Amino acid sequence: MAPVADALILGVETSCDETAAAVVRQGREILSSVVASQIPIHSPYGGVVPELASREHLRNILPVARSALEQAGVGYEDLAAIAVTEGPGLAGALLVGISFAKALAFALEKPLVAVNHLEGHIHAVLLRPRQAYAGPAGDPGNGTESSPDRRVLALVVSGGHTHLYLAEPRRADGGEPVWSYGNVGRTVDDAAGEAFDKVAKLLGLGYPGGPWIDALAPYGNPEAVPFTFAQIKAKAHRRGEPGALDPATATYFSYSGIKTAVLRYTHVHEMEGSIEARRAALAVMPDAGPADALPLCDRRTLDLIASFQRSVVDDLRRKTFRAAEQFGVDRVLASGGVAANRELRVRFTAEAAERNLPIAFPTLSLSTDNAAMIAAAAWPKYMAGEYAPEGLTAAPSLALGGTPR
Ligand code: KG4
Ligand code: ZN
């Protein structure tokens, strides 16, 4: 079956707590992107409950896919291929999307393309209109049209991941660029988004914590509480160990220490009472949001929130730009849920401007999990005839890219 150049791909994403489907033309033009969030289901637990996630995906997948087609104004027969996230993610959650996509591809006799969720996040940036790129005048933009063979550093920072990838688009004979990835940075413990979620939880705020902290941080003094990040010793993560990177060039992140430091700060300053009062007050409000939390936060709490966010954002910024310099890349991308953070965008953009280095983020709605990014990442694979095997199954620990030597 030869690929169709004007093809529409239906993307399906169920790796964590969002059931998503999208129709994307040629990996760039989003005709529809539907996301059914499970936040209200997991909220009372302060984190994703895997069994509940699978059950909700099962309930949502068909209506979500139908409404993606409806909003795009197309039918199943108009699709050229189905794309689905194969991993990483929760096994049971991934399986719902994979089973659905496999059955659909089989029934429609259309090819199925398997996509790595992390590659999806990187492609979310490439879905932006070209004029939306922040960079020096004349920056050719997303690297998929007029700029072959550019070397890009991609930070993927979300609730499950804090990774740096060297990404290179390789144009095959004037066709679609096929991307290759090298993993050059990762967290040794918690992901940055996990730290946002845990700190929000321990301060009695809602779930997921990132958007709450993002909204409350501007009301506090980011320099009030000095958090320090210990240097992580690369020797503890030697070549050959699972997930080990090249020790000569590796960047390591670590965000479990700052969560403990925030907890210790609340003990030392006897904040437990006010935290519990806030938790209780928010719990009885229907659809409570950060605006409801603001009057329930005293100065010390707001300063703590602002200082936490500043520390994490600055650690991400310093390490990302140090790696960008080290590898001599000509562009930086930042994607994933935490890349929706306003302070992160402001501080990354300022540093990029200082260095005259183009930087790009996805639109806010494409920063968090969605299926348009999955359909976009599938496009070059579809054009290259890289279809999923019949026996495709969930790959909960799927990695992206090898370690560049
Ligand atoms: O990419 P994503 O939707 O799912 C994963 O692949 O993990 O990311 C979700 C994570 C959560 O930890 C959430 O708290 C965080 O992204 N997040 C944010 C913001 N919006 C979402 N963190 C900081 N600031 C935000 N505005
Ligand atoms: Zn994600």
145-163 pLDDT per residue, tens: 434 447 999 999 999 999 9
Write down the pLDDT at residue 1. Answer: 64
Q: What are phi and psi of 168, to 5 degrees?
A: -130, 120
Residues 257 and 311 grouped into a single domain: yes
Write down the pLDDT at residue 43. Answer: 84
pLDDT over 90 for what percent of the chain?
79
Q: Could you tell me the CATH number of the domain that includes residue 25?
A: 3.30.420.40
pLDDT tens, position by position, 187-219: 999 999 999 999 999 999 999 999 999 999 999
Q: Does the bond joining 247 to the residue before it have cis omega, within 30 degrees of 0?
A: no
Q: Which ligand is nearest to the CA of 367?
A: 1
Task: Report how far ligand 1's centroid is from the alpha carbon of 313 (Å).
Answer: 13
Residues 218 and 72 grouped into a single domain: no
The residues with which 29 forms a beta bridge, in sequence order, are 25
Ligand 1 — pocket residues by CB below 6 A?
A: 16, 158-160, 193, 196-197, 208-211, 214, 336-338, 340-341, 368-369
Residues 313 and 351 grouped into a single domain: yes
Residues 247 and 322 grouped into a single domain: yes
In a domain, 324, yes or no: yes
Task: Provide the domain limits for residue 231.
Answer: 187-361
Q: What is the C-alpha separation between 81 and 10, in angstroms, rounded?
A: 7
Task: Report how far ligand 1's centroid is from the alpha carbon of 337 (Å).
Answer: 3
Tally of domains within the chain: 2
Residue 61, classed as helix, strand or coil, is helix
Q: What is the C-alpha separation between 364 and 344, in angstroms, rounded?
A: 12
Residues 268 and 388 grouped into a single domain: no
In a domain, 156, yes or no: no
In a domain, 210, yes or no: yes
**Least confident span in 175-179, 238-242, 351-355:** 238-242
Q: Is the pLDDT of residue 138 over 50?
A: no
Residues 282 and 336 grouped into a single domain: yes
Q: Indicate the DSSP class of residue 207.
A: S
Residues 68 and 207 grouped into a single domain: no
Token pair recorded at residue 194: 């996990």
Task: Report how far ligand 1's centroid is from the alpha carbon of 173 (Å).
Answer: 38
| Summary mean pLDDT of the chain | 90
CA angle 329, 240, 325 (to 5 degrees): 15
In a domain, 118, yes or no: yes
Q: What is the C-alpha separation between 101 and 148, in angstroms, rounded?
A: 32
Q: Which ligand is nearest to the CA of 335?
A: 1
For residue 193, give the ligand 1 atom closest to its CA. 12
Q: Is the pLDDT of residue 92 over 80?
A: yes
Which whole number is the average pLDDT over 255-271? 96
Task: Report how far ligand 2's centroid is from the alpha carbon of 124 (Å).
Answer: 11
In a domain, 104, yes or no: yes
Chain center to CA of 281: 31
In a domain, 137, yes or no: no
**Least confident span in 202-211, 230-239, 290-299, 310-319:** 230-239
Q: Is the pLDDT of residue 237 over 70?
A: no
Q: What is the C-alpha separation between 135 and 152, in angstroms, rounded?
A: 13
Residues 211 and 231 grouped into a single domain: yes
